[in-house]
Chains A and B, each alone.
Chain A
Amino acid sequence: MEKYSTYGTEDFLTDEHFLDWILAPSETSNEYWKAVFILYPACESKADEAKKIISALRIRPGKTMPADMRRQIVAHLHANADETVAASKRNHFIRSWKRYLATACVLACCATAFFFYRTPSHPTTGKLIIERAEVATAKETKITNTADKPLLVLLPDTSTVILEANAYIVYNEQTFTENREIYLRGEAFFEVVSEKDHPFRVKTDYLTTTVLGTSFRVKAAETLAKSKVTVQSGMVEVRKKTETDSTTETEMPVYLTANQEIIYSKSELQQPSSPLTPNDVPSPTFDEHFKSTPLKTVLKALSDQYHVDISVADSVLETRTITASLREMHLFEKLDLISRAAEITYRIVDGRIVFTQLSRDN
């Protein structure tokens, strides 16, 4: 910082950090420059002058695209979107930024691998028991929540399951991305990543729930008296399992949309006559618009919504504020967004979410 003691106007004009601050101030940069001016008060007037010079550059905004040009472009794109392009037609700009993107790709892969391998690596310390078994040729994974509170499980397709106490799920890890089928005993809340060609099925002993991308809760009690499916968003199809053949469900399905639920009892599917109010849905929607809200409050709201443990490693981080709208997002999208906003990172440790400082420190 000492260099600022001798800074003149020209030095500020060539200082990219300074220009970044003037052009796009952030909380961090505001603090930084405030500190600079307290330590080296003599340079503040030079900085002001530099600011004034920059502010003279008021570039007149260009014309917006004419509405009918936009219409023509969109129409052209839709008309041609389904055509396949020959390799020779590929543009060279894409190739050049592919190289640029390679790092991002590797980073993304690391992050994904991390989630998948992290959870199984602590089977004994946490309360999520992961068992792998080979049934015939299929490799099945069974995840049981032995804790007394809900825990979070990430599926290979990045859909999430919040597994209630004593519930367990079974799925085939190898084929899951192609055939998204999961067996559930107990109660769980699902947030499904939408994939048109790969429907997501949750099977219980009595019901099969098929979705394309939504969030819903399935309750398949061990005593088997009642099974229940509650939909928070999107739409699902529920079928009764026939006794003879477990793979084909022949009876008419029942469709449920947001805030509806269905109860299976005494071999019948019963749909409550009136739609539920949002309050009846076990995963409450909360006000998901935050404006300069402390991280602590945001995480509390999220934790209440999903009934999962969310903690922050360093209490200093909890005071950071967030302005964001988290509506209609998948849990992991919300976590990613919060991480970006508060410049922190998170890990999944034994079904719990832990936020920590970014390792890159400056």
Chain B
Amino acid sequence: MGTQWTDLFLWKRFQRGDKDAFTKLVNQYSDILYGYGKRFSADDELIKDCIQDIFLTLWHRREHLSETTCIKFYLMKALRQRIVRESGKWQRMSSLDDIPMNEARFVIELEDHPGLMEPVNTALKAYINKLSPRQREIIYLRFYENLKQEEVAELMGLNPQSVYNLQYSALLALKKLMNYPSIRDCILALCLLISATP
């Protein structure tokens, strides 16, 4: 967790009003925030405006903020709220669809796992698409951004039990999928055994 220590000192300098530290902070977190934001919306301008806004607010409020060692979490949380709010406004104007934006979309893709067979990799991709956007976001935050379950809950504004349940059902489905090849192998072996017996 080496980044946390340097974070702390960067944060201290930032709070003292050091613009270089501010630029560093922006450079350090822009990829994480952009990567997260883009999963909600393909609109580059929207993401840019939101990221710009949260950094600017952070700067103007810096003296009122306490020392924090987990800048990443706070920035991600701020970005999420901003995107949900902004895209909500946009949606009300342009469509009658009243599903909140964060429910409608959260895109993640899986990379091929070299240790797994082709059909399993295909099944994994289908599995990810079948999860609800919330489940995909939980998986992303927990297993890609390595946030703790409580942090995921706070970031998404859900209660920890809901996060637990959603994550559990997602992992359970994943387990079933991963077990499938071995079950098939068993059946295949059984068939061979039956056909081999005279």
Residues of A within 8 A of B (CB): 9-10, 13-14, 16, 19-20, 23-24, 52-66, 69-70, 72-74, 76-78, 80-81, 83-85, 90-94, 97-98, 100-102, 104-105, 108, 194-195, 323-324, 329, 333, 336-337, 340-341
The reply to whether B54 and A90 form a contact with Cβ atoms under 8 Å apart is: no
Which residues from A are CB-within-8-Å of B64? 94, 98
18 A–B pairs (Cβ distance < 8 Å), ordered by A: A13-B172, A13-B175, A16-B149, A19-B142, A52-B178, A53-B178, A59-B108, A62-B34, A62-B38, A63-B35, A63-B38, A65-B31, A73-B30, A80-B56, A81-B56, A81-B59, A90-B60, A101-B65
The reply to whether B65 and A60 form a contact with Cβ atoms under 8 Å apart is: no
Distance, CA A90 to CA B9, complexed state (A): 25
With both beta carbons as reference points, the residue of chain B lying nearest to A85 in the complex is identified as: B60
Which residues from B are CB-within-8-Å of A24? 1, 146
Task: Indicate whether A14 sits within 8 Å of B168 (C-beta atoms), given known contacts A63-B34, A77-B22, A94-B61.
Answer: yes
Give B167 Cβ to nearest chain A Cβ, in Å: 8
Query: B39: which of A62, A78, A100 is its contact (CB, 8 Å)?
Result: A62
Query: A59: which of B65, B67, B109 is its contact (CB, 8 Å)?
Result: B109
Which residues from B are CB-within-8-Å of A60? 108-111
Distance, CA A55 to CA B175, complexed state (A): 11
The reply to whether A10 and B143 form a contact with Cβ atoms under 8 Å apart is: no
Query: B78: which of A10, A91, A341 is its contact (CB, 8 Å)?
Result: A91
Give B26 Cβ to nearest chain A Cβ, in Å: 6
Give B121 Cβ to nearest chain A Cβ, in Å: 9
Task: Indicate whether A73 sits within 8 Å of B26 (C-beta atoms), given known contacts A55-B113, A59-B110, A63-B38.
Answer: yes
Q: Flag whether B90 is at the interface (Cβ < 8 A).
A: no
Task: Indicate whether A329 sits within 8 Å of B57 (C-beta atoms), given known contacts A59-B143, A97-B77.
Answer: no
With both beta carbons as reference points, the residue of chain B lying nearest to A336 in the complex is identified as: B8
The reply to whether A98 and B65 form a contact with Cβ atoms under 8 Å apart is: yes
Main secondary structure of the interface of A (DSSP, over half): helix
Distance, CA A61 to CA B66, complexed state (A): 31
Give A9 Cβ to nearest chain B Cβ, in Å: 6
Which residues from B are CB-within-8-Å of A100? 154
With both beta carbons as reference points, the residue of chain B lying nearest to A9 in the complex is identified as: B175
Give B85 Cβ to nearest chain A Cβ, in Å: 9
**Total residues of chain B contacting the partner, CB 8 A:** 68
With both beta carbons as reference points, the residue of chain A lying nearest to B177 in the complex is identified as: A56
Task: Indicate whether A14 sits within 8 Å of B171 (C-beta atoms), given known contacts A62-B35, A77-B52, A91-B78.
Answer: yes
Distance, CA A74 to CA B48, complexed state (A): 11
Which residues from B are CB-within-8-Å of A69? 34, 44, 48
The reply to whether A108 and B66 form a contact with Cβ atoms under 8 Å apart is: yes
If A70-B30, A98-B64 are given as contacts, then 4 extra A-B residue pairs at C-beta distance below 8 Å, sorted by A number, are A55-B113, A57-B110, A60-B110, A91-B78
Which residues from B are CB-within-8-Å of A74? 23, 26-27
Q: Flag whether B82 is at the interface (Cβ < 8 A).
A: yes
With both beta carbons as reference points, the residue of chain B lying nearest to A104 in the complex is identified as: B66
Which residues from A are CB-within-8-Å of B144? 59
Give B25 Cβ to nearest chain A Cβ, in Å: 10
Which residues from A are CB-within-8-Å of B108? 59-60
Which residues from A are CB-within-8-Å of B48? 69, 72-73
Which residues from A are CB-within-8-Å of B55? 73, 77
Distance, CA A108 to CA B78, complexed state (A): 23
With both beta carbons as reference points, the residue of chain B lying nearest to A340 in the complex is identified as: B5
